[in-house]
C-alpha cells in the first residue's frame, strides 16, 4: 500500500471516528437484547426509539451496507474502508444498525450482479434502508438437495405470471414482505433449463404461510403455498428459463455468509462484548494457576481458537484476492463447510463447559441464559443442512475446486 493510500485511510478513520461519536446514540453502544434487534420490513417495530434513529442515520450515510454502490443506497466503501468502519464501530461497541438477513447477504448481491438498472433502483435502496424483509423460495417438499427438480409452476399472462405450488424451509416467510423464488416456466426441457428466478410480494391473496417448529423450539422455517399468486414479469432476474444461473450464484453468496466468509474480520458488536470460550470455562469450571483446570478441555478450546483465527485469515485473504469482482467462487463451499463445522464444534465445547445446565428445557432451576444455550446448541444441528448439505459441499469442492472427475 502506497504512502498516499495509507494517509487517505488514516483520514477516513479519523472522520469515521468523529462521525460515529457524534451520531451513535449512547443506548446503541450497549449489548443488544433480542427484543431490540433491528429487523427490517414493513412490520418492523422499535422497542427502543434510538434503534430507529441509529438505523436511519446509518442508512442515510450508506453504512448499513457500506460496500454497495452509493447510487443504490450503499456507502461505496472499499474493502479497507469497510474494515475500518467495523473496527471503529467495535471500538465504541456500536450495535449493528440493520439485520438485513437475506436482503443484504443474498438477494441484494444477486440483484447487483444480474439485475437491470430499474430492478437495482427499485429493490436495493429499500434493502439498505431496512424497508423490506426478504425470504427465499427454493426448496420444495420433493426438491431439497436435488433443487433443480422443483415443480412450482409459473404461467405468463400478459405482464404477470400466475404461480402455483409450494415451498418448504422458507426462513421467516411468516414475517417477510417479498420473496425471491425459483419457478418452473418450461416443463419440456432439461430440468436445469426451464427454471426462472422471480421476485414478488408476499402480501397478496394466494400466498399462505405456516411456521414449522424445530427441535430447538424455535419456528424460523415455514411452509409456503401459492395458489394463483401473482408476480410481475418485470421482476424476473436474469433471463426467463435461465434462472438456474442466478440461483447457483445466490447459493454461493449464501454459503459464504453462513460460513462467515464475507471478509474475515468479525463485525462490530451487535450484542456487545462476548466472553470467550476460555473465560466461560474459567467461570464455570474453575482455574489452576490462572488456567482452565480441565487440561483436555483447555487443549480443545485452544485448538478451536487457533482454527477460528486461521479460518478468519483465510477468508480475509480470499476477500483480498477477489476484490476486483467481489463475487464469490466455488471456494464458498469450503467456507460454508468449515465455518459451519466450527460453529457446531463451539456449541459442543459449550456443552462440555456447561454440563447438565445446558440440557434444560424449562423450569426455574435453569437460567434464561442456560436455556438459550440449549436452544442454540440444538439449532446448530441444522448448520450442515441449510444452504446445501455437507455432502453437497464435498461434491462441489471435489468437482469445482479440486477438478476431480465425476
As annotated, the active-site residues are 254
Helix 79-91 with 3-23: angle, nearest 10 deg: 40
Q: Which of 168, 167, 202, 182 is nearest to 248 (CA)?
A: 182
Beta bridge partners of 207: 226
Helix 295-321 with 277-285: angle, nearest 10 deg: 170
Burial class (CB in 10 A: 0-12, 13-18, 19+), 212: middle
Instruction: Record the cell numbers describing residue 127, joined without a space.
Output: 434493502
Amino acid at each position: 500500500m502506497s504512502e498516499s493510500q495509507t494517509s487517505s485511510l488514516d483520514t477516513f478513520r479519523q472522520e469515521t471516528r468523529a462521525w460515529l461519536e457524534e451520531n451513535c446514540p449512547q443506548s446503541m453502544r450497549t449489548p443488544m437484547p433480542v427484543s431490540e434487534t433491528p429487523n427490517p420490513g414493513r412490520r418492523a417495530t422499535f422497542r427502543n426509539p434510538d434503534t430507529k434513529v441509529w438505523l436511519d442515520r446509518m442508512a442515510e450515510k450508506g453504512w448499513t451496507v457500506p460496500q454497495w454502490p452509493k447510487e443504490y443506497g450503499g456507502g461505496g466503501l472499499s474493502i479497507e474502508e469497510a474494515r475500518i468502519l467495523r473496527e471503529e464501530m467495535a471500538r465504541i461497541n456500536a450495535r449493528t444498525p440493520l439485520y438485513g438477513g437475506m436482503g443484504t447477504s443474498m438477494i441484494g448481491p444477486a440483484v447487483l450482479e444480474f439485475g437491470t438498472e430499474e430492478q437495482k433502483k427499485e429493490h436495493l435502496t429499500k434493502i439498505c434502508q431496512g424497508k423490506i424483509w426478504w425470504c427465499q423460495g427454493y426448496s420444495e417438499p420433493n426438491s431439497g438437495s436435488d433443487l433443480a427438480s422443483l415443480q412450482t409452476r409459473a404461467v405468463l399472462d400478459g405482464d404477470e405470471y400466475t404461480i402455483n405450488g409450494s415451498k418448504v424451509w422458507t426462513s421467516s416467510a411468516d414475517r417477510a414482505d417479498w420473496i425471491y423464488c425459483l419457478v418452473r416456466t418450461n416443463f419440456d426441457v432439461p430440468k436445469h433449463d426451464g427454471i426462472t428466478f422471480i421476485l414478488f410480494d408476499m402480501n397478496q391473496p394466494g400466498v399462505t404461510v405456516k411456521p414449522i417448529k424445530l427441535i430447538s423450539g424455535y419456528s424460523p422455517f415455514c411452509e409456503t403455498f401459492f395458489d394463483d399468486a401473482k408476480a410481475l414479469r418485470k421482476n424476473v432476474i436474469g433471463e426467463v428459463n435461465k434462472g438456474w444461473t442466478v440461483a447457483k450464484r445466490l447459493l454461493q453468496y449464501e454459503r459464504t455468509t453462513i460460513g462467515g466468509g464475507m471478509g474475515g474480520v468479525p463485525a462490530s458488536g451487535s450484542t456487545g462484548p462476548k466472553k470467550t470460550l476460555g473465560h466461560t470455562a474459567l467461570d464455570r469450571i474453575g482455574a489452576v494457576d490462572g488456567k482452565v483446570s480441565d487440561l483436555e478441555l483447555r487443549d480443545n478450546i485452544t485448538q478451536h481458537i487457533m482454527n477460528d483465527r486461521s479460518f478468519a485469515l483465510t477468508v480475509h485473504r480470499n476477500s483480498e484476492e477477489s476484490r476486483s469482482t467481489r463475487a464469490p467462487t466455488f471456494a464458498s463451499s469450503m467456507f460454508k463447510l468449515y465455518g459451519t463445522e466450527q460453529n457446531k464444534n463451539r456449541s459442543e465445547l459449550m456443552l462440555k463447559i456447561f454440563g447438565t445446565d445446558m440440557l434444560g428445557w424449562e423450569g426455574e432451576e435453569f437460567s434464561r441464559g442456560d436455556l438459550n444455550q440449549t436452544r442454540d446448541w440444538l439449532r446448530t444441528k441444522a448448520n450442515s443442512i441449510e444452504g446445501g448439505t455437507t455432502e453437497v459441499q464435498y461434491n462441489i469442492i471435489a468437482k469445482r475446486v479440486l477438478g476431480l472427475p465425476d
